[in-house]
Each structure stands twice: as C-alpha cells, then as structure tokens.
Chain A
C-alpha cells in the first residue's frame, strides 16, 4: 500500500478523534452555564465571560489535533 494513504488516514484520525472529547466537554460546560444564566439572569455577563474562557481551554485540545492533521496533510506527496 502507498505510504500517502497512511498519511491521509492519520490526518483524518487526528482531527476526527480529537474533536470527540472537546465536543462532549463543551456541550456539558455550555449546558450548565445556560442553566445558570436561566436561574440567575443578573449574573449573565460574568457567566458568559467565564464560559468563553472554559470553552477556549477545551477547544485547544481539538486545535492540537487540527494542527497535527495539517502537518500530516502537508506530508502527502
């Protein structure tokens, strides 16, 4: 089998698998934040800022996968 095929599969797996965890995590975090906003509308501003920071940390994990997918993609001749 051509080695380029392995690079392509590796790139697809890198981005595909690395989105699973952050997807679930971001869903849980934003669900709880929305619940908090609905219960206490007076702290919506604070909650939104903190939720964005939490989402950014989780998103970084998916971005690592994306970067590695790009690097592997660049190796396909």
Chain B
C-alpha cells in the first residue's frame, strides 16, 4: 500500500484496492487529500522495479572476467553513467552517491518509457479495450517521493563532509541571506518534483487528446508525438539526475 497525495489532477483517481481517505483539506478552492490505496501506476511502478531487479541480477550472476552478452551491456551502461556522474561531482562523492544517481537515471527513464506500452487492458461492457499505461512519473506523489530522497541525500552529504560547519552554508556570503537560503532549500526539491511531473503529465495529456482526435487522421497523430515523447523522457531523466548531482555537490563543498 502506498500513500497517494493528489495535488493536481483533472479527474478522480481510480483505486484497484483500498482507497481510504486519511486526511482531506481544501484551500483556495482546491482540494488536497491523502489517501491509502492501490492504484494503476503503482502496479506499473512495481513492474519497472521488477524489470530492473531481474535485469541487474542476470547481469551480475556470472561474473566473467571477459564479459559478454547481457553482462557486457549492463557493465557498459553502469560504467558509462557512473563515470559521467563522477566527473560532475568528483570521485570522492561519486563513490557514495554515484550508484544512487545512476539508479535515478535508469529508473526514471524506464518509468517514462513505460507510459508508451499499450498494455492497459480494461473490460468495458463485455468488450476488451487496450490503451497506453500511465507512467508512474506522471503522478505528483511519485515524483515528490523521488525529490524527498534527493532532499535527504543533499543534507546527509553536507553534514557528512562538513560536520557541524555545514550550518555556515545557510549564512554563506552574509547572515542577511538566511531567509533566502532556507527558501532555496525548500524550493529545490519542490521544483525537481514539479518539473518531472509537469513534463510527463503534460506529454501524456497531449497523447490522450490526440488519441481522441485521431479518429479523423487514422491514428498517426499520437505516433508523431510519441517519438517526441521518447526524446523528452530521456532529457527529463537526465535533467533530474543531473540536478540531483549538482545539489549534492553544492551542499558537500567545504566551508
């Protein structure tokens, strides 16, 4: 079971199981709620997790000195990405946070691409219909969870590298900057979550609208936007992990 925080969605959420609302609030005419329940995107989320675990296990099962096949591919992928992030945040931090950033990249990339698989079966009055899956990253509660991990890792890195001198980071040039730095600390993970959610959710909405339009143009309109969506999915995964790397290295630099 997972907690779903629904902030911005155009329609109600359908729960496969559960669905007890624990907390509800309304502000400025918008409704915020906190509900426990099993949703469709959680199943997709678990699918991506399962795929990554199986792919990783197969890649690391037989550790041949001269890798070939799947082991070669997974080592090439991990090595390339790990080198890329280590070059950005330095070899010392790269040893601690490299695996996290590589996981973020691969996980968000696969989540974004999972929205293109036409595997969403639904029974509607006896007729079986197929539509695209909903990408887990097109839900704000999922991206907010990613951003919370980045938030805690950032300050963990800061305290680990600088001990108590890390508090100087909040008053870094002059003490006058304290309120602005605190706003920054809150805003950074918030924008991180909102950027990923907005991009993927926006793209999915466009595809959904074009699906309805494509009655007139033989279904080719969504295909074009899906190709663009593949590029966006890659760029958003890269940007999320790059910004996480930058925030971590910023907090960990010595004062």
Question: Could you list which residues of chain A lie within 8 angstroms of chain B, going by C-beta atoms?
Answer: 49, 52-53, 56, 59-60, 63-64, 66-67, 70-71, 73-75
Selecting from B6-14, B67-75, B89-97, B220-228, the interface stretch reads B6-14
Closest 6 CB pairs of A and B: A63-B198, A56-B239, A74-B10, A71-B8, A70-B8, A66-B198
Contacts A53-B242, A66-B198 aside, 7 further interface pairs with beta carbons under 8 A come to: A56-B243, A59-B199, A64-B194, A67-B194, A73-B10, A74-B10, A75-B30
CA distance A71 to B11 in the complex (A): 10
Q: State which of A52, A60, A64, A70 has its C-beta within 8 Å of the C-beta of B9.
A: A70
**Which residues of chain B in 1-23 are interfacial with respect to chain A, using CB atoms and an 8 Å cutoff?**
8-11
CA distance A73 to B208 in the complex (A): 15
- 1/0 contact trace for B211-255 toward A, CB 8 Å? 000000000000000000000000100110011001000000000
Residues of A near B11 (CB, < 8 A) are 74
State whether A56 and B195 are in contact (beta carbons under 8 Å apart), knowing that A66-B202, A75-B29 are contacts in the complex.
Answer: yes
Question: Could you list which residues of chain B lie within 8 angstroms of chain A, going by C-beta atoms?
Answer: 8-11, 29-30, 88, 191, 194-195, 197-199, 201-202, 205, 235, 238-239, 242-243, 246
CA distance A60 to B202 in the complex (A): 13
Task: Contact check, A52 vs B29: say whether CB atoms are below 8 A apart.
Answer: no
A/B interface sample: 16 pairs, CB < 8 A: A52-B238, A53-B246, A56-B195, A56-B242, A56-B243, A59-B195, A60-B194, A63-B198, A64-B198, A66-B202, A67-B198, A70-B8, A70-B10, A71-B8, A74-B9, A75-B29
Residues of B near A52 (CB, < 8 A) are 235, 238-239, 242
Residues of A near B197 (CB, < 8 A) are 67
State whether A74 and B194 are in contact (beta carbons under 8 Å apart), knowing that A53-B246, A56-B239, A66-B202 are contacts in the complex.
Answer: no
CA distance A74 to B13 in the complex (A): 12
Task: Contact check, B195 vs A71: say whether CB atoms are below 8 A apart.
Answer: no
Task: Contact check, A74 vs B8: say whether CB atoms are below 8 A apart.
Answer: yes
Task: Contact check, A60 vs B195: say whether CB atoms are below 8 A apart.
Answer: yes
A10 CB, min distance to chain B CBs, angstroms? 12
CA distance A67 to B198 in the complex (A): 6
A60 CB, min distance to chain B CBs, angstroms? 5
